[in-house]
Amino acid sequence: MGTKSLAAPPAMLSTGALTTVCLDPSKLYRIGTHNTGEPYFQHSGANRFDAPGAKLAPPAPEYDSCYFGLSLDVAMAETMLHDLSPINGAFKISTSSLEAFYLLRFKGEPLVLADLTGVALKRLDGNADLAGHDPRYDRTQRWALAIFQNPAMVDGFIYMSRHLNSEKAVMLFDRAKPKISVRKPVKLIKASGFRAAATRFNIVAA
Q: How far apart are CA 102 and CA 164, in angstroms?
A: 20
Paired sense of beta strands 186-187 and 65-69, if any: unpaired
Helices (H), 49-191: 72-78, 95-100, 118-123, 138-149
DSSP state, residue 89: T
Helices (H), 101-186: 118-123, 138-149
Q: What was the pLDDT predicted at 200? A: 97
Note the pLDDT tens digit of each residue in 107-134. 999 999 999 999 999 999 999 999 877 7
Q: How far apart are CA 206 and CA 31, in angstroms?
A: 20
Strand stretches in the chain, DSSP E: 20-23, 29-32, 65-69, 91-93, 102-108, 111-116, 156-160, 168-173, 180-182, 186-187, 203-205
Note the pLDDT tens digit of each residue in 65-111. 999 999 999 999 999 999 999 999 999 999 999 999 999 999 999 99
Q: How far apart are CA 98 and CA 84, in angstroms?
A: 13
> In Å, how far are 101, 102, 138, 139 from 189, measured between CA atoms?
8, 8, 36, 36
Q: How far apart are CA 156 and CA 135, in angstroms?
A: 22
Q: What was the pLDDT predicted at 136? A: 79
Radius of gyration in angstroms for the set of CA atoms belonging to the chain, rounded to a whole number: 17
Q: Which residues pair with 111 in a beta bridge?
A: 23
The pTM for the full model equals 0.95
Average pLDDT, integer, range 164-174: 97
